[in-house]
Amino acid sequence: MLFTGLNFLFFWMTWTTLVLSHSPLRVELFGTLAIRLVFYLAPSVFFFLFDTILPYAASSVKAQGHIALPSGHKRRKISRKEVKIIGWSLFNILLSIVVQGAAEFTLTTLLRRRSLIKVAVRLPYPWGITTDIVRGFILREILNYSIHRFVLHNERLGITRLHETWYHGLRAPWPLTAHYDHPLCYLLWKFLPLYVPAALFRFHMITYMVFLGLVSLEETWTHSGYSTVPLGFVLGGMARRTEMHVISGGDGNYGAWGILDWLGGSTADENDTIEEDVRAELADLDIDAKIRKAVQEAKNHMGDSVEKERVKTRRRVNGNS
């Protein structure tokens, strides 16, 4: 049971009042905006501020160290580039809500059809919510993988250039970048995989809000860069795969779960990218001479086959800096 006793009664009264006093379109759009604010924007802004104000502490809890900071560096302040990225991310979130509103308005008011999301007083059953959300997530993953791999990373299509210059202009994901991309790419790989399942299975608005809340939390954590995340056995893997997708420049890991990449043979080669990463760090002129020497020594002492050791050393070195 999701809600019990008095809580449930209170919730039911609030929901009934809301639905009876506002148009379904308003309930859908404001509900969507509210969930985005609470479950995506608020935590992402908080993480972003933490990363910006306390870069040393933040980089020590990042899986990829300081390259996963917004500025890419511990001593550098954020610049206009980061501000632009955040601006476009916020624009994209609003754009997706406008598109959602336009679609619903066209269907219900112009074409006199039923809405894509069901806004009704009658509440869905917990079991109904659960099954809808499970199939919603499965379809979302399939759509994300297919669109991401075969449209956004398809050399023969022009849109690939947009995705590569926008989203892949990032060195690594950092808080607030989950919604950053060219608006057209954004609608294709973030909005459609989210909204199409909801519309296809005609989610109840309550179900849609739960789904959107989970998606928002997932986006927040997978783009946070932090090495420890809640539900680590699910979100941890997703976060590392997303990082590898960005760090490798889009060379694999097109899905979030890894299953479709495994089936489709498109898993990003972690060893390659980590080595590049170490090299990039050595090339970074601002890096402490001592750390550089330590990393170099660690590299010299270890054979190519002990990749794992190298990663550990890197983490240790990062941790001490």
Ligand X SMILES: *[C@@H]1O[C@H](CO)[C@@H](O)[C@H](O)[C@H]1NC(C)=O
By CB under 6 A, residue 254 contacts ligand X:
yes
Nearest-angstrom CA–CA distance, 222 and 276: 22
Q: Which stretch binds ligand X (CB under 6 A): 31-39, 89-97, 128-136, 254-262?
A: 254-262
By CB under 6 A, residue 148 contacts ligand X:
yes
List alpha helices for 251-306, DSSP H: 259-263, 270-283, 289-301
Of residues 39-68, which lie at the interface with ligand X (CB under 6 A)?
none
Residue 183 beta carbon to ligand X: minimum distance, rounded to whole angstroms = 15
Of residues 168-227, which lie at the interface with ligand X (CB under 6 A)?
190, 193-194, 219, 222
By CB under 6 A, residue 255 contacts ligand X:
yes
Nearest-angstrom CA–CA distance, 104 and 115: 6
Residue 191 beta carbon to ligand X: minimum distance, rounded to whole angstroms = 8
CA 8 to chain centre: 31
Q: Which stretch binds ligand X (CB under 6 A): 7-15, 46-54, 151-159, 248-256?
A: 248-256
What does each C-alpha distance from 81 to 84, 169, 255, 285, 301 come to in angstroms? Answer: 5, 10, 27, 21, 39
Contact residue for ligand X among 133, 205, 256, 295 (CB under 6 A):
256
Nearest-angstrom CA–CA distance, 117 and 31: 12
Nearer to ligand X, 32 or 144 (CB): 144
DSSP for 32-98 reads HHHHIIIIIIHHHHHHHHHHHH-HHHHHHTBTTGGGGSTTSSSSPPP-HHHHHHHHHHHHHHHHHHH
Contact residue for ligand X among 240, 245, 310, 314 (CB under 6 A):
245
Contact footprint for ligand X (CB under 6 A): 140, 144, 148, 190, 193-194, 219, 222, 241-242, 245, 253-256
